[in-house]
Structure 1
Amino acid sequence: MTSDTPARRRARVFSRRRSAPSRARRRLGAAVRMLAALVLAGGVYTAFAPGAFADDDVQLSAAAQEGKALFDNSCISCHGRDGQGVDERGPSLIGVGAASVEFQVSTGRMPMTRQEAQAEEKPPQFNDDQTRQLAQYVQEIGGGPQVPDGPLTVDLEKDPDALARGGELFRVNCTSCHGFGGGGGALSSGKFAPSLHDATERQIYAAMLSGPQNMPVFGDNQLTPEQKRQIITYIETQLQEDKDPGGLFNLGRYGPSTEGMAIFLVGITILVFTSLWIAGKS
């Protein structure tokens, strides 16, 4: 057995003294690397992530400044400062875009008097200019979809086939809720699809972009801007100008199919009663 000489004991003590600082340095280095990684991740997120909140220092345009004054007077109690939202009162408006504001405000659905299954259409509280100003303010503080500039319908003299394409797109995408005649219809849980007979072209376009209530969002990857214009052209020229899609009578604006069914039922009823009358006389 090897004897434990004083030299070996001094060597072990020296080795322990060297190893202790080494472990401390490793732990300190790991902590520094972790902190650097967290700082780097936070910096990357701050630089590239989309804004999750409104910027207090954002420079507003003149229209948005007017909209902010209207917002602070009429909307802030439910939607909060800078559109951040208020719990159990109103949602955040960050990211909803000007299109949503234009639809909700121009149709009188907002300001909302109380929480219901669906916001009812009412006479608007703001005129067109004020509505655009509110929409511009929400757009500049949070971004989101907005109604494009320029005409929102198709010039049928230049593209006469656009009406037929718009009718086909309307039947495929809209009739399941709004009906073939655009008169609206009932949905589940007390909700309903509103009538399109009084809707303006901006309201229809904004609704397709924002998807209010139960309506799906029709982004440009679902319906291109040109297809949206074709649908609006069909609604305005065929459903809002009191033109029936065929037939002699306005039976739900479904065309001759409902009239044929009505004539069939009435005719069968007359034949039955006529047969009974003849049988009774004989």
Structure 2
Amino acid sequence: METFTLNNGVTIPALGLGVFQTPPDETRAAVTAALEAGYRHIDTAAAYGNEREVGEAVHASEVDRADVFLETKVWISDYGYDETLHAFDKSARKLGVEQIDLLILHQALPSEFQRTLDAYRALETLLADGRVRAIGVSNFMVEHLTTLLDTTSVVPAVNQIEVHPYFAQAEVQAFGVDHDILTQAWAPIGGITFYRDSGHRSTLEDPVIAEIASRHDKTPAQVMLRWHLQQGRQVIPKSTRASRIQENIDVFDFDLTPAELGSIDSLDTGRRGGPDPSTVTLETWGRPIPEA
């Protein structure tokens, strides 16, 4: 497994398993299959409702806990300094750990950005106290990152955003490179939401990607994951099928040419599949996160 080094020196596996929209009763099996296949990074979130099952699978595994990089996210309903400190406690109990490897804010809250800043200051406290090893953000745009950097002291280690061949967010990625913030790609091969709501075909059926895949005797999904990795992005593909989980990690034995990378870059439509971060509010997206 290749790794990336975060801006505070912590290393993170280059590829992990995402469990977004994975039902709790399927999460244990998916995480178990991933660990058996060689994954050492699991990405979950308080809002996913499956942190407990992630923790159970990790602790039941023969893989040493110290070798598994656990990442989770604080939901907007728990923003605010004291609220976010308590959100850590809830997530840590559900995961069954005392220290979380990477804790990030799940969304910016533009209409109440002071709560976002207070939540991030709580992450800084958790980092200073050693309760987390690294902190970061998710779905933050350049304007959110700029304000954050101007008013806090710790540069986020990561910004987890929607990135795939049809939606690259080049400006946000470039800001991350300039400030040593690693881009984590969610929906790295497109995602069902994108296909359904954007009017585009599945990236898995794109002829450009299919031709490149045929050339390397790989699948379209493997080509897209390799595209991310070669361009310096950490990826967290999601699947509950053991065969697909194994397929997604089999991406470290080939390289795409500069021309192939460019061909995939040219597929960008500029249209996102997930929610527009500027529209996220507590009124529309807030919901309580249960206690542990």
TM-score with structure 2 setting the length: 0.21
TM-score with structure 1 setting the length: 0.21
Larger relative contact order (Cα-Cα within 8 Å, sequence gap ≥ 6): 2
Q: Which is richer in helix?
A: 1
Whose radius of gyration is greater, 1 or 2? Answer: 1
